[in-house]
């Protein structure tokens, strides 16, 4: 049985710091924290741990004030936080790039930056939490999961930001008193927002941009300086049964968003359970999302070709004509950071829109999610993950690691491959499997089982981004966050991307995003030192020196 460890700075027999208790904890363990303020930053990797306030909410504060790193950084494993107060410094209070992160009854804030930030490798669950006093409330980049019954208030800029295909579901949540937008959805975000309130914002209540397709249902928007809800050209999704003050919903020409008035929704009974397959009218919008990605010309052509085949096969079936089935399983081969996960999300939603799959979900896994530690364990783990993905897309990142034993006497990765081959055959019409990794390594993966290669329709190659494409990615990131890059800044960035080492560990778009985070950090430190409240132009402007400092920090 997992132990409960006590953290208390002044109590005999207790651990004085969270980090020391973490070093002694066992899987599934609980770390109970005595009342007080604790100043330490902790990184969680491969653990299954719960941190809880020993005497309830409002008694324990974890603070990272003055530091630029996340107060709690989650890289993998499972971290649950219960009834804690978390105050970040220049970085977020909680920053997750992987694993499962659950917060219940917590209060979060940050001196500068987002109170809570999560990337595409993380799955989140926030329940009954309060987020206040931060530059941004929640920053969710490609993240899945749920936010339920939360309050997000007194935010300097945007309350919630969804980007990079984030498909989080937010329900019964209030977003208020934001200096900029209440909810900002961009870069192909597809969240679901249900039964929420957005009020008192400096600009739009909810802003949808850059190919995003959210579902916004039964949500009230009021007391906004800008439009209640605004949708840019090229965006889709649905606004269903929402109450927007003075009907201030602005849909730009070129957007395909469906708007159902609150009265209409009540009359026709539209709801989540009734709209299965509701994305089937969104094929053209999803194709536009695909076209809007930077670069990837050959990838786009391959995906469109495959979708065309599936569409025609369906039309032939409806016409009573013979049609051969088209395999929907794919190999995505190429370097990291080239958009493989983003394209996989769009592909899965296209299959749903076509009616090929019953769900538009994507489950992302890697070797650790599939491979066990003893004979028989791997088949069980792999089958469990496969069952969870049924109906949608199973995305296996770095799939080639399954065909490597890693020097151990038992090659449990091979057992996972053999199990996958059988499951893909048994459930060939119920799931789409995408295996991703470096090109040369994926050839080894396909040769690991005689029937594996035949299960995949084709291999799609993802080329690394060019210098100009990386510059465009940086420009889009800056534009989306309301920053201004001068011509001189763009010139320095292009020179950096032209000369940077493009070895096997080069992260492409990840490199651009990481560099921009460094640029924002450099700008923040510069603005903190000027001795006055920055102007709006100060806050938007990125200088050449900001970029050079960030580049130097990456060397």
pLDDT in tens, 24-58: 888 888 999 999 999 888 888 888 999 999 998 89
- Statement: residue 262 has pLDDT above 60: no
Tens digits of residue pLDDT in 170-193: 999 999 999 999 999 998 999 999
Q: Which helix (H) or strand (E) holds 315?
A: helix 297-318
Smallest CA-to-CA distance from 139 within 203, 91, 211, 172 is with 91
Say if CB 295 and CB 469 are below 8 A apart: yes
Highest-confidence segment of 5-19, 224-238, 288-302, 361-375: 224-238
Looking at residue 83, its pLDDT comes to 95
Name every residue whose Cβ is closer than 8 Å to that of residue 400 and which is 6 or more positions away in sequence. 437, 438, 441, 442, 444, 445
Buried b (16+ CB within 10 A) or exposed e, 82-109: bbbbbbbbbbbbbbbbbbbbbbbbbbbb
Q: For residue 8, what are its two tokens?
A: 């208390």
- Return mean pLDDT, the chain: 86
As a whole number of angstroms, the distance between CA 10 and CA 16 comes to 7
As a whole number of angstroms, the distance between CA 202 and CA 219 comes to 19
Mean pLDDT across the stretch 438-446?
85
**What's the pLDDT band for 398 if we cut at 50, 70, 90?**
confident
- Statement: residue 272 has pLDDT above 70: no
**What's the pLDDT band for 251 if we cut at 50, 70, 90?**
very high
Q: For residue 102, what are its two tokens?
A: 């659950």
Q: Which helix (H) or strand (E) holds 543?
A: none
With vertex at residue 495, the alpha carbon angle to CA 493 and CA 496, rounded to the nearest 5 degrees, is 65
> How far from 431 is each of 198, 281, 460, 515, 549, CA to CA, in Å?
37, 21, 19, 36, 46
Q: Is 109 helix (H, G, I), strand (E, B) or coil?
A: strand
Say if CB 147 and CB 172 are below 8 A apart: no
Buried b (16+ CB within 10 A) or exposed e, 539-549: bebbbeebbeb
The span from the first CA to the last CA of the chain, in angstroms, equals 46
Mean pLDDT across the stretch 216-241?
93
Name every residue whose Cβ is closer than 8 Å to that of residue 10 and which is 6 or more positions away in sequence. none
- Statement: residue 358 has pLDDT above 60: yes
Alpha helices in 150-273 (DSSP H): 262-268
Q: For residue 128, what are its two tokens?
A: 């009954």
> How far from 326 is each of 101, 291, 348, 356, CA to CA, in Å?
37, 23, 15, 10
Say if CB 108 and CB 94 are below 8 A apart: yes
For 195, other C-beta atoms within 10 Å of its C-beta total 14
Tens digits of residue pLDDT in 124-151: 999 999 999 999 999 999 999 999 999 9
As a whole number of angstroms, the distance between CA 262 and CA 242 comes to 6
Say if CB 145 and CB 121 are below 8 A apart: no
Tens digits of residue pLDDT in 280-337: 446 777 888 888 888 888 899 989 888 888 888 877 776 777 666 677 899 999 888 8
Give me the percent of the chain exceeding a pLDDT of 70.
92
Tens digits of residue pLDDT in 473-518: 888 888 877 888 888 888 898 888 888 877 767 778 888 888 898 9
Beta bridge partners of 239: 216, 259
As a whole number of angstroms, the distance between CA 138 and CA 94 comes to 10
Cα 133 to its chain centre, rounded Å, is 23
Q: For residue 148, what are its two tokens?
A: 């339920």
Q: Which helix (H) or strand (E) holds 479?
A: helix 467-480
Smallest CA-to-CA distance from 108 within 126, 87, 125, 136 is with 87
Place of tokens 């938007």: 540
Say if CB 480 and CB 188 are below 8 A apart: no
Say if CB 45 and CB 77 are below 8 A apart: yes
Mean pLDDT across the stretch 412-437?
86
Looking at residue 454, its pLDDT comes to 82
Domains and CATH numbers, the chain: 4-227 (2.160.20.10), 281-462 (3.40.50.300), 467-554 (1.10.8.60)
As a whole number of angstroms, the distance between CA 278 and CA 339 comes to 26
């Amino acid at each position: 049985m997992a132990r409960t460890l006590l953290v208390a700075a002044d109590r005999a027999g207790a651990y004085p710091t969270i980090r020391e208790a973490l070093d002694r904890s066992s899987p599934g363990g609980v770390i109970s924290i005595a009342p007080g303020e604790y100043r330490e930053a902790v990184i969680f990797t491969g653990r299954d741990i719960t941190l809880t306030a020993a005497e309830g909410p409002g008694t324990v504060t974890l603070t990272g004030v003055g530091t630029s790193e996340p107060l709690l950084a989650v890289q993998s494993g499972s971290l649950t936080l219960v009834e804690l107060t978390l105050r970040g410094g220049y970085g977020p209070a909680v920053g997750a790039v992987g694993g499962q992160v659950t917060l219940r009854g917590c209060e979060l804030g940050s001196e500068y930056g987002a109170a809570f930030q999560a990337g595409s490798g993380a799955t989140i669950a926030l329940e009954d939490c309060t987020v206040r006093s931060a530059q941004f409330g929640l920053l969710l980049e490609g993240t899945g999961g749920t936010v339920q019954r939360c309050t997000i208030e007194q935010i300097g800029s945007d309350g919630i930001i969804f980007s990079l295909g984030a498909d989080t579901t937010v329900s019964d949540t209030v977003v208020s008193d934001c200096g900029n937008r209440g909810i900002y959805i961009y870069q192909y975000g597809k969240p679901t927002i249900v039964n929420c309130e957005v009020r008192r914002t400096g600009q739009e209540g909810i802003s949808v941009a850059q190919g995003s397709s959210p579902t916004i249902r039964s949500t009230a928007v009021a007391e906004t300086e800008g439009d209640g809800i605004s949708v840019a050209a090229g965006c889709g999704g649905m606004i269903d049964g929402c109450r927007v003050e003075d009907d201030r919903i602005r849909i730009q020409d070129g957007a395909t968003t469906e708007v159902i008035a609150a009265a209409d929704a009540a009359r026709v009974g539209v709801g989540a359970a009734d709209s299965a397959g509701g994305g089937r009218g969104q094929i053209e919008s999803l194709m536009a999302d695909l076209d809007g990605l930077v670069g990837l010309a050959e990838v786009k052509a391959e995906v469109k070709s495959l979708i065309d085949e599936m569409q025609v096969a369906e039309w032939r079936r409806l016409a009573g004509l013979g049609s051969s089935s088209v395999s929907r399983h794919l190999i995505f081969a190429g370097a990291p950071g080239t958009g493989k996960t983003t394209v996989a999300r769009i592909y899965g939603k296209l299959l749903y829109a076509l009616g090929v799959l019953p769900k538009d979900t994507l489950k992302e896994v890697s070797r650790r999610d599939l491979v066990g530690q003893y004979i028989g364990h791997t088949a069980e783990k792999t089958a469990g993950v496969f069952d969870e993905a049924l109906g949608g897309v199973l995305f296996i990142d770095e799939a080639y690691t399954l065909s490597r034993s890693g020097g151990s006497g038992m090659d449990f990765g091979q057992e996972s491959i053999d199990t996958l081959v059988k499951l893909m055959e048994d459930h060939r019409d119920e799931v789409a499997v995408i295996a991703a990794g470096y090109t040369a390594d994926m050839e080894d993966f396909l040769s690991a089982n005689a029937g594996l290669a035949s299960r995949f329709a084709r291999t799609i190659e993802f080329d690394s981004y060019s210098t100009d494409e990386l510059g465009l990615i940086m420009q889009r990131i800056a534009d989306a966050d309301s920053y201004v890059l001068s011509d001189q800044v763009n010139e320095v960035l292009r020179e950096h991307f032209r000369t940077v080492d493009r070895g096997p560990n080069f992260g492409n778009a990840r490199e651009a995003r990481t560099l921009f985070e460094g640029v924002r950090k450099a700008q923040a430190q510069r603005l903190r030192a000027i001795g006055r409240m920055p102007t709006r132009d100060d806050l938007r402007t990125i200088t050449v020196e900001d970029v050079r400092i960030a580049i130097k920090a990456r060397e």
